[in-house]
Amino acid sequence: MIELSRRNAIGGIIAGAASVAMLPGAEARADADESSTGKKMKVYENAHFYGTDGTFDVAKAKAVYYEMMEHHNYPIPERLRGEEFWAVDFGMGLFTEIGMAGIFWVNNLDHNYFGHEIYLLPGQSIPEHRHVKTEAAGPKLEGWHVRHGSVHIYGEGEPTPGVDARTPPSHKDCLIAKREQKLMPGEVGMLRGPEEWHWMKGGLEGGIVTEYATYHDGAGLRFSHPGVKF
């Protein structure tokens, strides 16, 4: 198995974070209680995830993602309790708005395939990004399969009416992808083409999403927001 750097891990998850096309049966719907337990998930203030010096507290972030997994009766194997599971705020200090967690299950360059899980808290977004061709691999292509909760996915194309109301405040001046679709458990979305700008936002009860994709090379990751960093 190819060893993954933190940058690659973040990039891969971001890569799978949004889509532009949906398979039949996936239609836009109004938000509702999407918990598989029938209970509302606890929501934390942004300050909960930062120390007094403003440092992002990864352990606290992971603990809340575990709460979300338990909320949705999602199994937590030992691998998810280890270092391969990560959480990031993309250096913006706005974790409840811009952030995510994930784990790379596999990333195989020789046979050009990739699989990982994306975890988003309620209302949390992966920053807008795209994947360009690199010396090692072509532009990454992705599909997303919602397991629990729900997500809104965004890609290029005709803007969806009202989309600005759901745009992260930090991205209002740079956002490119404004074509919106909502995915519920069991539904699948995908990029419509290579190097397309895209992003993803967690629903009212967060979102747990499996990504299927071609090989992820972190060197090909590009963000539209100049302040995003690892």
pLDDT in tens, 105-162: 999 999 999 999 999 999 999 999 999 999 999 999 999 999 999 999 999 999 999 9
Average pLDDT over residues 100-109: 97
Which CATH number applies to 6-223: 2.60.120.10, 3.40.50.620, 2.60.120.620, 1.10.10.60? 2.60.120.10
- Residues shown for the chain: 230
Place of tokens 């239609």: 27
Which of 109 and 34 is assigned the larger pLDDT? 109
Model pTM above 0.95: no
138/214 Cα distance (integer angstroms): 9
Domain-by-domain residue ranges, the chain? 6-223
Q: Is the pLDDT of residue 25 over 70?
A: no
- Angle subtended at Cα 47 by Cα 92 and Cα 80, rounded to the nearest 5 degrees: 75
